[in-house]
Structure 1
Amino acid sequence: MTDLLWQKTGTRTDERIMRFLAGDDVVLDREFLLCDIEASKAHAGGLANIGILTTGERDALVRELDGLADDFRAGRFVLDDRYEDGHSAIEARLTERLGDAGRKVHTGRSRNDQVLVATRLWLKERLGELSAHCVEAARVCLARAAGEALPLPGYTHLQRAVVSSTALWFAGFAEAFIDDACRARDTRAWIDANPLGTAAGYGVNLPLDRAHTTAALGFARLQVNPVYAQLSRGKFEIAALDALAGALLDLRRLAWDLSLFTTAEFGFVRLPAEYTTGSSIMPNKRNPDAVELMRASYACVAAARTEVEQLLSLPSGYQRDLQLSKGAIFHGFHHGLGALALLPDLLARLEWNAPAMRAAIEPAMYSTDVAIEQAAAGVPFREAYRAAAAAADEAGQGRTPEASLAARTSPGASGDLRLAELNARLREFLP
């Protein structure tokens, strides 16, 4: 491991303790390194603005930081156990290449605001990806809702209830994912505040140009108070994970439907072959493994959120406990976004088994239609309800699923899906 940034003369480091302190920071910081580099470029510019660096030193630092980013992307620079973490790797590289200019780059900042700003930039990127995945899933759902309206049994309590349709099913999940995109966008706006320049949580005795770093890094506003910058660590990560979890809750329910609908007992849906796998022992099996893992993905995000939350039983100011939050948010977003990325293609290519769905619609499922029609004709609803219940087995006489769906004209229902309204909301997210 290179010389430690905080090493004091005359002190000895114990390798076992250092391994424990470093944990898997070096591995995790590979995920955040490019964000840390961008923040270092902005910080160098700010230092030049207040005379700590010359313009020549600033330009040299920016040039070397860009080179480090290129080398990292190309695999020519590897963040490994030579370094304590990504922050020390950046400073070691700059010092090696530029000497004193590299040694000056840490002026006025702490690893606390370095990790804060790198994580904040990373979360903004991930929330943008989350919104994009939700938008694409909603787009596919709306296209399919507009293109086909096959009769489909509607269930409550997993019991056959009323006549529904594939269009209503798709439109329901479209609206869910539009809301999820809104939540991702709003959460991104909420955390869009620059903590760089708050140092270890108490500011520094320099007139740091925080307006410069805010603009250079594309933040919407400054996170003003240094104490709050530390208080927000973990709080903002939980908000981002909550936004991701909301989308994965919708994915979980969608995946549950598909898990049921693909069984032989239902037989409503055929999945693309690529989304299924075979059994290692049963030659007859094709299993919906991808759908099942989509269903399970919420658990990974919920676990990540809990892990971060449990770290926050802390007083104000920075505590080393927070180091462990990086792994949680990385693994939560990696798994959650990976599941959502597969969803649009799956939705576009799944096939409905129209005969099987029609065969599952039984006469009693028209009973609600009968009761509502009688109520509309002036019969008190509870009286109409009892009469329809008594004659449930005959409720389907002279009726078809298509007529039932067309008559369902309450706004948003099968006869008035309001797809134009949903498309208008979706267009807010499109270029």
Structure 2
Amino acid sequence: MSDMDAENSEREGGAKLWGGRFTSGGAGTNALMESFNASIRFDRRMWREDIQGSKAYATAISKVGVITPDECEQIQAGLDRVAADWEQDRFDILQSDEDIHTANERKLREYIGQVALKLHTGRSRNDQVSTDMRLWVRQRVAELRGYLVEFIGVCRKRAEEEIDVLMPGYTHLQRAQVVRWSHWVLSFAWPMKRYVEQLDEIAARVNVMSLGSGAIAGNAFGVDREALAEDLGFNGVTENSMDATGDRDFVAEFLMWSSLVMARLSKWAEDLLLFSSKEFNFVAIADQYSTGSSLMPQKKNADSLELIRGKAGRVFGHSCGFLMTLKGLPSTYCKDLQEDKEMLFDGMDTMHAIVQIASGVLATLTVDSEKMSSALSPDMLATDLAYYLVRKGVPFRDAHSLSGSAVALAEKSAIALSSLTVEQLKTISEVFEDDVRSVWNYTSSTEQYSSTGGTSRRAVQEQVDKLAAWLTSPAPR
């Protein structure tokens, strides 16, 4: 078939991959249905993966004699030309290009003629799209992993450099105990490490090839799937063709994982939004991650953090929405699964952007250690006062009560807890002695928490060192 014949056939609707069953003399597919059914506007971004899979499949069917070595060479060369069209932004998408598979095959046919029609032998768009998506996700997950590791590296660096900065720690958004700023920073590094490890597990499940499963029953031409998987860099093949064509667990799992990461980053963003407000002034967000007000010239808004917090809901929505798509489906492939791509693509794009923005915000913000220090108050040492009594033999429950009485006495006297005299404290318990004055030291307060995971200088440095070792360890393959 000449290029012109192929083009005319395309315009008439005769080149659809599924067109043989349908009459061509009637009105054809409803125009709105054509648009409703098509996915080319969003799945075109998988053009590279589709060509990669097709080239490997051409080699596989050549090995079993479905096509000759010369035909395989023609197909490979033709697919290279199709790839060049995409690379150079000159791929002409036609209205009848239903999806990326149809578009690429149509263009291949224009370049090499009838030989292109042999490429799809034994292959279905069901196993083809699943393979394309796995190839696409595999690459993007690897990139995302790098961004997460970068965020952890920024956390480690700041924690080590600012290890002596003290700040109030909060529970219920109320001042609780004295902690190191580094301890707060690292409280987000550790969950991110867990998320990287979870992502590695997801990546391993993604990296299983479904190509060769056909539409439902498998491949009828003896294609060596294990060799094909090795050619495409997969670690293995799917074990059941019915499962393979309808499986989108890897999409659902990625979206659920993304929701978990976003919930954590939303919490992180909320903390920094508070810390950067004038009421706190603990940190200043760099100008490059802030915006201004169209009305109030003095305003500097941390919109980067607000968008991180806001886009968490977007990612949650994709996860919930896709699970609702999956819940009512019968087994194997149904067209409902076309809904996976827009949610997956947007979720992946959102995660890529947000993790990079988060790293940038954290790397460039300025810490005001004096503001943090001035926010410390003696009442935050009430637990230390109870521990003082414990170390003198008082049971903790009694010590807790006695320290609470001291707090009440200070409030009644309108003075700071640390301003209570030994005589006043003795009215609460005779156990108090002159050495109680040693309690009123913020640095000493943090230093008592020296067990693993604590906020003492040594314990925090231990966290930094462990993360440094992990960051330099090789990533799993």
TM-score of the pair, normalised by structure 1: 0.95
Quote the Cα distance in structure 2 between the aligned partners of 1:80 and 1:372: 76
The Cα shift of 1:80 comes to 5.5
Pairwise mapping of residues 62-101 of structure 1 onto structure 2 (< 5 A)? 62-79=76-93, 81-101=95-115
Aligned to 2:18, the other structure's residue is in SS state coil
Aligned to 2:170, the other structure's residue is in SS state strand
The Cα shift of 1:423 comes to 2.2
Aligned to 1:229, the other structure's residue is in SS state helix
Aligned 8 A contact 2:175 2:380 in 1: yes
The Cα shift of 1:160 comes to 0.5
Is 1:259 the counterpart of 2:273 in the alignment? yes
Pairwise mapping of residues 295-374 of structure 1 onto structure 2 (< 5 A)? 295-312=309-326, 313-374=328-389
Aligned to 2:298, the other structure's residue is in SS state coil
Aligned residues: 428
- Read off the aligned partner of 1:259 and give its amino acid letter: L
Quote the Cα distance in structure 2 between the aligned partners of 1:6 and 1:76: 26
Quote the Cα distance in structure 1 between the aligned partners of 2:93 and 2:142: 26
1:113-148 CA distances to partner (integer Å, 9 max, x unpaired)?
111001111111222122111111001101111111
Aligned 8 A contact 1:108 1:199 in 2: yes
Quote the Cα distance in structure 2 between the aligned partners of 1:231 and 1:19: 23
The Cα shift of 1:54 comes to 1.2
Once structures 1 and 2 are overlaid, which stretch shifts more, 421-430 or 134-143? Answer: 421-430
Q: 1:409 aligns with which of 410, 430, 450?
A: 450
List 4+ stretches of structure 1 deviating above 6 A.
none
Name the counterpart of 2:34.
Answer: 18
Pairwise mapping of residues 3-402 of structure 1 onto structure 2 (< 5 A)? 3-8=15-20, 10-11=23-24, 12-22=28-38, 25-79=39-93, 81-149=95-163, 150-233=165-248, 235-312=249-326, 313-392=328-407, 393-395=416-418, 398=438, 399-402=440-443
Quote the Cα distance in structure 1 between the aligned partners of 2:287 and 2:305: 12
TM-score of the pair, normalised by structure 2: 0.86
- Read off the aligned partner of 2:452 and give its amino acid letter: P
The Cα shift of 1:79 comes to 4.1
1:276-311 CA distances to partner (integer Å, 9 max, x unpaired)?
111112222111111100112221211111121111
Quote the Cα distance in structure 2 between the aligned partners of 1:365 and 1:83: 67
1:5-34 CA distances to partner (integer Å, 9 max, x unpaired)?
111262422222211211xx1121122111
The Cα shift of 1:242 comes to 2.0
1:205-253 CA distances to partner (integer Å, 9 max, x unpaired)?
22122112201111111112101103422x2101111222222222111
Aligned to 1:152, the other structure's residue is in SS state strand
The Cα shift of 1:383 comes to 1.1
Aligned 8 A contact 1:163 1:365 in 2: yes
Quote the Cα distance in structure 1 between the aligned partners of 2:59 and 2:132: 17
Quote the Cα distance in structure 2 between the aligned partners of 1:68 and 1:146: 51
1:139-176 CA distances to partner (integer Å, 9 max, x unpaired)?
11011111112111100000000001211011111112
Change (3 A) 1:379 1:200: same
- Read off the aligned partner of 1:10 and give its amino acid letter: T
Aligned 8 A contact 1:113 1:199 in 2: yes
Change (3 A) 1:79 1:359: farther
Quote the Cα distance in structure 2 between the aligned partners of 1:49 and 1:376: 79
Aligned to 1:207, the other structure's residue is in SS state coil
- Read off the aligned partner of 2:131 and give its amino acid letter: V
The Cα shift of 1:71 comes to 2.3
Aligned 8 A contact 1:178 1:426 in 2: no
The Cα shift of 1:370 comes to 2.2
Quote the Cα distance in structure 1 between the aligned partners of 2:52 and 2:265: 34
Quote the Cα distance in structure 2 between the aligned partners of 1:73 and 1:248: 33
1:383-403 CA distances to partner (integer Å, 9 max, x unpaired)?
111122222342585533222
Quote the Cα distance in structure 2 between the aligned partners of 1:345 and 1:183: 23
Aligned 8 A contact 2:44 2:99 in 1: no
Structure 2's unaligned 5+ residue stretches are 1-9, 408-415, 420-436
- Read off the aligned partner of 1:391 and give its amino acid letter: A
1:349-385 CA distances to partner (integer Å, 9 max, x unpaired)?
1111112111111111011122223323422111111
Name the counterpart of 2:430.
Answer: none
Aligned 8 A contact 2:208 2:234 in 1: yes
- Read off the aligned partner of 2:471 and give its amino acid letter: L
Quote the Cα distance in structure 2 between the aligned partners of 1:267 and 1:285: 14
- Read off the aligned partner of 2:175 and give its amino acid letter: R
RMSD value, Cα? 1.8
Quote the Cα distance in structure 2 between the aligned partners of 1:138 and 1:255: 15
- Read off the aligned partner of 2:128 and give its amino acid letter: Q
Identity %: 33
Name the counterpart of 1:427.
Answer: 472
The Cα shift of 1:202 comes to 1.5
Aligned 8 A contact 1:365 1:395 in 2: no
Quote the Cα distance in structure 2 between the aligned partners of 1:360 and 1:158: 14
Name the counterpart of 2:425.
Answer: none
Quote the Cα distance in structure 1 between the aligned partners of 2:447 and 2:322: 49
